[in-house]
Structures are given as structure tokens and as C-alpha cells.
Amino acid sequence: MKSEEIVMIYGSDSDLMTTKLLEHIDLASHLSKESHIVLKPNLVVARPAEGGATTHPEIVEAIIKYFTQRDFKNISIVESSWVGDSTERAFKVHGYDNFAKKYGVKLVDVKKDNYLKIDLEGYRVEMSETIMEADFLISLPVLKGHCQTTMTCALKNMKGCISDRSKRQFHSWGLFEPIAVLNKIKRADLVIVDSLNGDLDFEEGGNPVQTNRMFAGVDSVLVDAFGSSLMGFEIDDIPYIEMAENLQVGSSDLSSLTLTELNKDTTGDAYRPTGRVKSLEKYTVPSSACSACYGNLIHALARLDEKGILRDLNRKVHIGQDYKGKSVCGLGVGVCTNGFSTFLNGCPPKAIDMVRFLEKEIED
């Protein structure tokens, strides 16, 4: 498969669609039977794929079947849920424990893996040893919105390959450039994008939109540039795409793209995020906030909005690592804001706890 090519398939049978993509690419003929093949899905939260946040397990199983039927035996599924959630629980929710028993594949929770400390472009990153030593890495991201990076797909999916400490550092470093550098450290050899029903606004799902498509490519930068166009974004709206291109991770030049469609598109026009997140962000003052915490806050604000009381919140909510150790007369959520005059503890606090906390603030 050439770097400038993307292969697209449409439908609702993700097992069949995945198999057809792999057969078209003829992947098995390019790999040694002894190769350690690593599958890196998106299991950011322990929730079913129907919510628009996580990779459909049927895709993962189809890839495993494709290889085991061709006598490949060294296959691992490697992932780390976001800070505050359990990868092992996510494995069970998606049936990966059954895959391990049925097909003999290994399950590796990056949170419990050994790490290699790698220095590049001024950043020190703790990378999963299993990911770094993979002979062939297949990234399986979900094309979806994100409340901090606007979109997440191939490049950001690699964030599940690092330690929780590095994840926190990524946010304090500004998130965008570290994502680009991460893909310089380790690039996926193949990306198969689950664009069946990704959420258009939140990384953790809840607002899925059925688009019934999957696509594959070997250039993560091009895959993300293409994905951004499917969601109605300009490449400039996703800063880490250009940053990764500048680091020579890949090319974002869509004019050189060769799009191979294996069947006809029946999904209609691409959908664009509702922009609801932007309307809620005006109530927040984030500074190096982690995704789990900030995402929970956005959900909490949405719940207050649905109750018709958000407009009565007279103080903005501070959140993020940059508030650690600061004494402030103000409103904060998360353990990082424990120096604020009014704050909610937790790392991260649950959305429902934030709702109750902010309801009390409004009532007072």
C-alpha cells in the first residue's frame, strides 16, 4: 500500500468491511509469520462502541481472524484507557478477554507495562515497551470529536501507548506538539479507522452519529488530514497535524491523495460537530486540564444547561494542572484547584459530583 493511498469502504457489517480492507491491502503477504503484530484500538473509556467513543470489537476480532487463519500466532492487543478509567474493565466490556481465550492473543494494559524513556525534541516520554518492540503496529482509532483537540483519529490514538504520568505531562506541555512528537517516536505501520458512528464532540462519546464507513492508510498524518475533511474541518483547525508533518511523520497534502473506494458511498454528506462544546466552554477557565477531568466538566455543564440553570452560574469554573499550589479566591474543580476558596476534590471528579457541586454554587 502506497503512502499517498487511502482505502475506503462503506456499510454496517464491520467484520466484513474489515476483512475486505485487509484482503485488498493483502497485508499478510508482506509480513513474516513470526512477526509480532500489535493491535492498538481506542478504549479511552470502558463503554460500548455504540456510544461513539471506542473501537468496535468486531473490527479487532476480524483482524485477529484474518491473521490466525493464515497461521500468524504472535498477536497482541495493547491499550491504555484514559487517566481515571480501567483498561482491564474496558477489555472486558469489549470482549477482549474472550478473544484472548479463543484465539490465544495477548492482552497488554499499558498502565502495567514496562516503559522505555525516550527523549526527542525536548520531551521525555515513557513509551510502552510492547509498543516499541512491535514488528508491525496496527492503529485502530475512532474518528470523532474531542473537547480539547477538536478531533481525534490516528495521531492522537498513539497517546494510549504512554504511561499515565506522560499523559498528564502532555497536557501541561500543551498537548498538540507532544502528540506530534509521539508519532515521531513511534509510527503506526497501518491505520484502520473506525468511522462507523464516532461522536462528533466528545472523546468519551455520548453523541454518536452513524456514518457507516471505515478507511485505511499507512500515513497517519494523511489519515488525519483526510479525517478532518470528513468532519468538515480545515487542517489548520487541528494543530498537531501540521506539527507532525513538520517533524516528517507524514504528509497532509490531500491534493496528492489517491482514494480507493471499495464500494459506493451511501452515507450522504459529512457531518459537522454541533458546536455545543464551544457554547459551554465560556463557563470554564482551563489551564493544562486533563481530558478526563475537562470532559467531565463539559458534561456537567451540559446537564446544568438541560436543567435550565447554567445561565445562573455567575462564576467561571477553573480546572487544570497549572492551578496546583495556587491560593485563589475563586471556583475550581479537581484536586489541582484545592487552593481555591471554593473547590471540588477528585482526580478526576465524577460528572455527577460536579453537577451537585455546581448546583449548590448556583443555589448559594
pLDDT (0 to 100) of residue 274:
62
Round to whole Å and give the CA distance between 300 and 176: 25
pLDDT confidence of residue 207: 73
Residue 299 pLDDT grade (very low, low, confident, very high; cuts 50, 70, 90): low
The confidence score (pLDDT) of residue 129 equals: 98
Residues 41, 60: Cα–Cα separation, whole Å: 8
Q: Supply the pLDDT for residue 245.
A: 98
Average pLDDT over residues 170-194: 96
Q: Is the pLDDT of residue 292 over 70?
A: no
The pTM (predicted TM-score) of the whole model is: 0.80
Give the pLDDT of residue 270.
52
Lowest mean pLDDT among 136-140, 208-212, 249-253: 208-212
Residue 276 amino acid letter: R
Mean pLDDT of the chain: 91
- Band (pLDDT 50/70/90 cuts) for residue 269 is low
Instruction: Please state, as a whole number, how many other Cβ atoms lie within 10 Å of the Cβ of residue 360.
Output: 11
Q: Using a pLDDT cut of 90, give the percent of the chain over it.
A: 71
Q: What is the pLDDT of residue 126?
A: 98
pLDDT tens per residue across span 213-266: 899 999 999 999 999 887 778 899 899 999 999 999 999 999 999 999 999 876
pLDDT band at 353 (very low <50, low <70, confident <90, very high): confident
> In this predicted structure, which of 109-113, 169-173, 269-273 has the lowest mean pLDDT?
269-273
Q: What is the pLDDT of residues 3-56, one digit of tens each?
A: 999 999 988 899 999 999 999 999 999 999 999 999 999 998 888 888 888 999
Give the separation between CA 225 and CA 319, rounded to whole angstroms: 30
Burial class of 201 by CB neighbour count within 10 A (0 to 12, 13 to 18, 19+): buried
Give the mean pLDDT of 334-338.
Answer: 95
Measure the CA–CA gap between 364 and 354, rounded to whole angstroms. Answer: 15
All domains in the chain, ordered by first residue: 5-261 (3.40.50.11440), 276-363 (no CATH)
**Lowest mean pLDDT, pick from 33-37, 274-278, 281-285, 332-336:** 274-278
CA distances from 298 to 44, 58, 87, 168, 316 (A): 17, 30, 23, 19, 13
CA-nearest of 48, 1, 44 to 158 is 44
Q: What's the pLDDT band for 201 if we cut at 50, 70, 90?
A: confident
Pairing of strands 340-344, 150-152: unpaired
Which is higher by pLDDT, 126 or 352?
A: 126
What is the percent of the chain where pLDDT is above 70? 96
Contact 223, 217 (CB under 8 A): yes
Tell me whether strands 5-10 and 328-333 are parallel, antiparallel or unpaired.
unpaired
Under a CB-based contact definition with an 8 Å cutoff, are residues 171 and 115 in contact? no
Instruction: State in Å, rounded, how far the first CA of the chain is from the last one.
Output: 62
Q: Would you state the pLDDT for residue 266?
A: 62
